[in-house]
Homo-oligomer: A and B are copies of this chain.
Amino acid sequence: AFKGKHNERSAVFADLSADEYLQVRDYMSNQKDLDISVNALTKPSGNFLFLIDLLLPRKSDALGYLDNNKPKPVREATAVVFYGTLGHIKEYVVGPLPNPTYHRDVTVERYKEELPINARTVTIGEYALIFKFINEEVFTKLGKIVKESFDVSKEKTLNSFEGMPRGVKSGERQTWISFFRDLSGMYIHPVGLEVLINHESTNASLWSVKRLLYNGQYFDSVEDLIKQYDAGTVTKIMYKPVQNYASLKPKSKPTGLSPQQFYPQGKRFSVKNNNVMYLEWSFAFGLSSLTGMRVFDIRFKGERIAYELSVQEAMSVYGSITPGMILTKFLDSSIGIGRFAHELVRGVDCPYAATYIDTFRYIDVSAPHRFRNSICLFEHNTGRPLRRHFSDFFSNSYGGMVNSALVFRTITAIGNYDYLWDFIFYQSGSVETKVHATGYISSSFNVDGNLKYGHQVAENTIGNIHTHFISFKVDLDVLGVENVFQTKDMKFMNVSLPWMPERYAMVPQLVEAQLKTEKEAALRYDTKTPRYLHIASNRTNRWGHQRSYRLQVVSFTGDSLPETEPEEKSMSWARYKVAITKHKDSEQTSSSLYSQNNMWTPAVDFSKYIEDDESIENQDLVAWVTTGFLHIPHAEDIPNTVTVGNGGGVILRPHNYFDEDPSIHSPDGVYISPG
């Protein structure tokens, strides 16, 4: 059924192939002077090639290639090396692909300073040592206590979950680890033991246990706990088996399939490499190991509407009385959002008939990994008209069309939480980006005072209050890159009635403004914001109005962390509902790989993009959108949070961009006239 020719030039946005990852890995590994290991079990004391990812081309180069027959930008990768031997992290540009011949240290160019080693993500190699350390220094030593309390033995262990950040100031790497029953859905099985480990040194032999929390009581050392436990000054937790309330095993037998969607006349979209075509739409896509899903060069009827639309960050701030979560502020892109885009389950994660796409990644591994069916793509009949009108006044007729749209999805399971990331392409020229949260909540053991921080949701288990803040990058290019940022709203004005001028009435008027600088256009959460936000061209449509796309943000967030907190700099994008900046290749992301473990001196502080307060008039503009919701967990979050009501997003809608609704040209239109 599908007709049309794919744009081969989308390749500039394509993720690295398995072979390209290998080439970069081997090239880096061969630089003997760098002394880099590519073994995923490399210890923190060694030098480890942590990440290889596509380096996006400079925007001007990409546009030159896409639009002006300029040469194809050189294909390059970013390689991230954790230098345990040297105490720092380096980022390299490696190229040209597919056969690299050069590498260049770009760390200071990108971040203005060196990256300290403790800003790094905890690797598999470090985790292996942490688990070994805990086993030897905590569980083995606490043998009798953990047996009596948790039935821990050689054969039966507990699982761990970490609080973040790892300390209270730069350079620290002290992690509160909470323990959970070794059951599926462990995240809601806290047992009441939390341990503070100092793993600041890259030399694991210098690590130490700094503090313990057992059943709400603090201990300075393992020995202290043992002593007091034996002396009878500790309220003991006595082990008893529990039924696994976290299990996702259905409790009822299937009774028959729910409704299913099918394509009676074939698919109306097509994927070739990383280019997608669907009715009037086309776009390129990629999946960053760090930030996750992204689409580029989004065109409707051949005209580019956005250069980039991408996930940037998923942040959560928790409250708890227990140390394992009292300070916890997760910044998922530091662990890797796209990294956890696993195989999608047909019929549940996406419809049976969807198209599934494999992705390849290289992060914290020894060799590139293939993730089968980790992106899905389907046309979805929303079961609702996109538009319709029935008339029986004066004329009798009906016209309408069903809202059938293309959905492009990944789902990332980052530890306990699963986020659904959808980009939806509508026949009316709108694109929507939507996020939904599901999976397991984080929880803590119910100790005195913890009900201030959440509700009890299972035996001894508190579901801790937290926020979900999501950052999206929206680089609309409305008829080229030179755009302005406009707001529109309604204001009641007292006006004299023209046919009885002595009489006044409050009448809604349209109020429009063009914001001039980045600071003006950084729309803070705690301020009243105009209801309509537009990225506009100075070119006008047939009716003389500036052609624009409107950003309609759907969000249930609220206050973010106060700016007085030193960690806040690492999530300063969350201050704004929407912030508009002048595009810079050097301001690619609102967050960074190094934000989580160095929140106090983050490699990227988004608010700095705005600090120079540049003009945003007739510039290439980027909108940074914050969405999300406050989550007060409740019993119905057990076993999993449901997606209904737990999401947010932004709709990009044409507003005087066209001369009429483009869906009038859709082949799905229906018209009925009587007789």
> A497–B165 Cα gap in the complex (Å)?
14
Determine whether the beta carbon of B259 is less than 8 Å from that of A259.
Answer: no
A436 to chain B minimum Cβ distance, whole angstroms, is 7
> A258–B386 Cα gap in the complex (Å)?
13
Q: Which residue of B lies closest to A437 (CB)?
A: B387
Determine whether the beta carbon of B326 is less than 8 Å from that of A250.
Answer: no
Determine whether the beta carbon of A668 is less than 8 Å from that of B254.
Answer: yes
Q: Which residue of B lies closest to A455 (CB)?
A: B545
The interface residues of chain B lying within 8 Å CB-to-CB of A656 are 455, 634-636
Q: Which stretch, A45-53, A96-104, A376-384, touches the partner chain B?
A: A376-384
The interface residues of chain B lying within 8 Å CB-to-CB of A640 are 387-389, 399-400, 661
A362 to chain B minimum Cβ distance, whole angstroms, is 17
The interface residues of chain B lying within 8 Å CB-to-CB of A380 are 259, 383
Determine whether the beta carbon of B561 is less than 8 Å from that of A492.
Answer: yes
Chain A 311-344 per-residue mask, 1 if CB under 8 angstroms from chain B, else 0: 0000001111101001100000000000000110
> A257–B72 Cα gap in the complex (Å)?
39
The verdict on A438 contacting chain B, using a C-beta distance below 8 Å, is: yes
When all copies of this chain in the complex are counted, the total is 2
The interface residues of chain B lying within 8 Å CB-to-CB of A643 are 384-387, 403
A446 to chain B minimum Cβ distance, whole angstroms, is 9
**Contact pick for A260, options B251, B381, B642, B664, CB 8 Å:** B381
Determine whether the beta carbon of A639 is less than 8 Å from that of B661.
Answer: yes
> A378–B402 Cα gap in the complex (Å)?
15
The interface residues of chain B lying within 8 Å CB-to-CB of A266 are 256
The verdict on A432 contacting chain B, using a C-beta distance below 8 Å, is: yes
Chain A 615-645 per-residue mask, 1 if CB under 8 angstroms from chain B, else 0: 0000000000000001010111111111111
Determine whether the beta carbon of A532 is less than 8 Å from that of B642.
Answer: no
Determine whether the beta carbon of B401 is less than 8 Å from that of A348.
Answer: yes
The verdict on A228 contacting chain B, using a C-beta distance below 8 Å, is: no
The verdict on A307 contacting chain B, using a C-beta distance below 8 Å, is: no
Q: Which stretch, A14-22, A32-40, A179-187, touches the partner chain B?
A: A179-187
The verdict on A349 contacting chain B, using a C-beta distance below 8 Å, is: yes
> A169–B453 Cα gap in the complex (Å)?
54
A414 to chain B minimum Cβ distance, whole angstroms, is 10
The verdict on A143 contacting chain B, using a C-beta distance below 8 Å, is: no
> A400–B659 Cα gap in the complex (Å)?
44
Q: Which of A411, A508, A654 is packed against the most chain B CB atoms within 10 Å? A: A508
A-B contact pairs, 7 of them (CB 8 A): A260-B262, A384-B436, A429-B636, A453-B510, A456-B543, A541-B635, A642-B663
Determine whether the beta carbon of A319 is less than 8 Å from that of B556.
Answer: no
Given A252-B667, A467-B508, A490-B319; A391-B184 close (CB under 8 Å): yes
Determine whether the beta carbon of B644 is less than 8 Å from that of A432.
Answer: yes
**Contact pick for A378, options B383, B440, B642, B663, CB 8 Å:** B383
The verdict on A171 contacting chain B, using a C-beta distance below 8 Å, is: no
The interface residues of chain B lying within 8 Å CB-to-CB of A436 are 384
**Contact pick for A661, options B218, B258, B637, B661, CB 8 Å:** B637
Determine whether the beta carbon of B645 is less than 8 Å from that of A658.
Answer: no
Residues of chain A from 485 to 527 with CB closer than 8 A to chain B in the complex: 488-490, 492, 495, 497-500, 503, 505-510
> A268–B662 Cα gap in the complex (Å)?
37
The verdict on A351 contacting chain B, using a C-beta distance below 8 Å, is: yes
> A669–B251 Cα gap in the complex (Å)?
8
A150 to chain B minimum Cβ distance, whole angstroms, is 15
Residues of chain A from 360 to 419 with CB closer than 8 A to chain B in the complex: 378-381, 383-395, 397-404, 407, 411, 413, 415, 418
Determine whether the beta carbon of A388 is less than 8 Å from that of B218.
Answer: no
Determine whether the beta carbon of A642 is less than 8 Å from that of B552.
Answer: no
Number of residues of chain A lying within 8 A (CB) of chain B: 170
**Contact pick for A439, options B389, B457, B554, B655, CB 8 Å:** B389
Determine whether the beta carbon of A348 is less than 8 Å from that of B503.
Answer: no
The interface residues of chain B lying within 8 Å CB-to-CB of A554 are 554
> A147–B407 Cα gap in the complex (Å)?
52
Determine whether the beta carbon of A662 is less than 8 Å from that of B644.
Answer: no
Q: Which of A258, A268, A668 is packed against the most chain B CB atoms within 10 Å? A: A258
Sample of 17 more A-B contacts, CB < 8 Å, known A349-B400, A456-B543, A642-B661: A168-B505, A249-B669, A255-B667, A256-B667, A259-B262, A259-B263, A259-B379, A260-B262, A323-B499, A345-B400, A384-B422, A385-B411, A386-B438, A455-B543, A506-B561, A532-B630, A638-B659
Determine whether the beta carbon of A644 is less than 8 Å from that of B639.
Answer: no
Q: Which of A505, A543, A561, A643 is packed against the most chain B CB atoms within 10 Å? A: A543
> A432–B645 Cα gap in the complex (Å)?
9
Chain A 461-498 per-residue mask, 1 if CB under 8 angstroms from chain B, else 0: 00001110000000000000000000011101001011
The verdict on A653 contacting chain B, using a C-beta distance below 8 Å, is: yes
A495 to chain B minimum Cβ distance, whole angstroms, is 8
The verdict on A86 contacting chain B, using a C-beta distance below 8 Å, is: no
> A253–B671 Cα gap in the complex (Å)?
12
Determine whether the beta carbon of B655 is less than 8 Å from that of A319.
Answer: no
Determine whether the beta carbon of A248 is less than 8 Å from that of B668.
Answer: no
Determine whether the beta carbon of B452 is less than 8 Å from that of A387.
Answer: no
Q: Which residue of B lies closest to A629 (CB)?
A: B531
